[in-house]
Amino acid sequence: MKRRPVVALAGGVGAARFLRGLVQVVRPSDLTVIVNTGDDRDFYGLRVCPDLDTITYTLANRVRRDVGWGIEGDSFQTLAALRRFEREAWFQLGDQDLATHIHRTRRLQQGASLAEVTAEIARAFELEVELLPMTCDPAATAIEREDGSRADFEEYLVRDGAPDDVRTIDLSQARCATPGPAVLEAIQAAESLLVCPSNPLVSIGTILAVPGIQQAVDLRRDAVAVSPLIGGRPVKGPADRLMRAVQVEVSSYGVATLYRSFVRGLIIDDVDAALTERIEQLGIAVRTRPTLMKDSNVSRDLAASAMEFAKELC
């Protein structure tokens, strides 16, 4: 199969919003997205893939605009009924959203791989973009807290509200996984490799933890990344708490230190322009742009800047 010229590493709402702009500046049929699956787990007996689903719904123009996940206009009657039996039903799944998870669970039980099911779901939502799970193996991210307790990432983020008492991030399952079908080939053959504005530790970091993926991007060392931090704070999610836990500076400079082995260019927000010289001392070229993707126009302009930057660096 002929590989697509643009490949993006992605996870979370920030990535989805960036990708909605990217498909306005490159043909969707020219784009492959390698997606974090470290957040995947079973809820109510169904396999849920939060990042794959968020990206699918966003690119299909079906995502809830107020929160960036789930399906716009969805209802939650099934969840309300389930709480009669399970009062701890804390993970929000809408009625239409459930159909995606029911299909995925049934197909996995029938022996289909996660990559095959992901392609089926993308076709059902009429996407031309190729979505590739980083792995088809179990690769759950675990968070260890200061009191010694452990939780998977969705429990930490959603159930517990992402508190600051993080001791370590455990990516051991991802480190024992195998790259998903076509993942390494897509990275090797891409003309442009982009890193979406995603959590650098538990989205991009989890993808890179899968054996072979870090090596593939390091061999290229020409990726262009968009920092997910603005003014030392994430737009969404717990990147600041997790970066502090692993003693990485909570700034776009800190992101650059995590990416320095494979990123050649980094886009940071205009408000962080003072960090440019420090980042360039790491051997990474810098561009400053508005990165708060408050609407699709900003997403498009940011994606266009990333593509132009990638071509310039080539």
Residues 252 and 228 in one domain: yes
Task: Answer whether residue 276 is part of any domain.
Answer: yes
Is 232 buried (19+), middle (13-18) or exposed (0-12) by CB count in 10 A? middle
Indicate whether 36 and 148 sit together in one domain. no
- Same domain? For 134 and 157 the reply is no
CA–CA separation, 280 and 284 (whole Å): 5
Last residue within a domain, chosen from 150, 170, 190: 170
In a domain, 92, yes or no: yes
Instruction: Name the token pair of 295.
Output: 């609407």
* Cβ-contact 153, 142 below 8 angstroms: yes
H or E segment at 169? strand 166-170
40 & 157 share domain: no
CB atoms within 10 A of CB 143: 27
Token pair for 93:
């799944």
CA distances in angstroms from 233 to 72, 136, 228, 229, 313, listed in the order given: 27, 32, 8, 5, 28
Structural domains in the chain (count): 2
Average pLDDT, the chain: 96
278, 214: one domain = yes
Q: Which stretches within 197-275 are classed as H helix?
A: 204-209, 213-220, 239-245, 252-259
Strand-pairing partners, residue 225, are 195, 266
Digit-coded pLDDT (tens) for 106-126: 999 999 999 999 999 999 999
Same-domain check for residues 301 and 216: yes
Amino acid 314: pLDDT = 82
- Spatial separation of the C-alpha atoms in residues 145 and 149, rounded to whole Å: 5
The residue from 170, 190, 215 where one domain ends is 170
- Total-model pTM: 0.96
Tell me the CATH number at 208: 3.40.50.10680
User: 10 Å Cβ neighbour count for 106?
Assistant: 13
52 within a domain of the structure (yes/no): yes
Shared domain check, 179 and 165: no
Selection from 153, 176, 204 nearest residue 40 by Cα: 153
Asked whether residue 77 falls in the same domain as residue 211, the answer is yes
Same domain, 164 and 130: no
The conformation of residue 32, written as its DSSP 8-state character, comes to E
Residue 137, SS3?
A: coil
pLDDT digit string (tens) for 128-157?
999 999 999 999 999 999 999 999 999 999
How far is Cα 247 from Cα 236, in angstroms, rounded to an integer? Answer: 20
Residue 204 inside a domain? The answer is: yes
- Identify the CA nearest to 131 among candidates 237, 54, 215: 54
Q: Tokens in use for 161?
A: 């509200």
Q: What residue numbers bound the domain in which 77 lies?
A: 6-139+173-313
**Do 202 and 78 fall within a single domain?**
yes
SS3 string of 49-80?
CHHHHHHHHHHCCCECCCCCCCECCCCCHHHH
Q: Per the domain annotation, does 295 fall within a domain?
A: yes
- Same domain? For 24 and 156 the reply is no
User: Would 117 be classed as within a structural domain?
Assistant: yes
Same domain? 64 vs 194: yes
Q: Is residue 281 part of a domain?
A: yes
pLDDT in tens, the chain (314 residues): 568 999 999 999 999 999 999 999 999 999 999 999 999 999 999 999 999 999 999 999 999 999 999 999 999 999 999 999 987 789 999 999 999 999 999 999 999 999 999 999 999 999 999 999 999 999 999 999 999 999 999 999 999 999 999 999 999 999 999 999 999 999 999 999 999 999 999 999 999 999 999 999 999 999 999 999 999 999 989 999 999 999 999 999 999 999 999 999 999 999 999 999 999 999 999 999 999 999 999 999 999 999 999 999 98
Residue 1 lies in a domain: no
Structure tokens at 54: 């968020």
User: For the chain, how big is the Rg over CA atoms in Å?
Assistant: 19
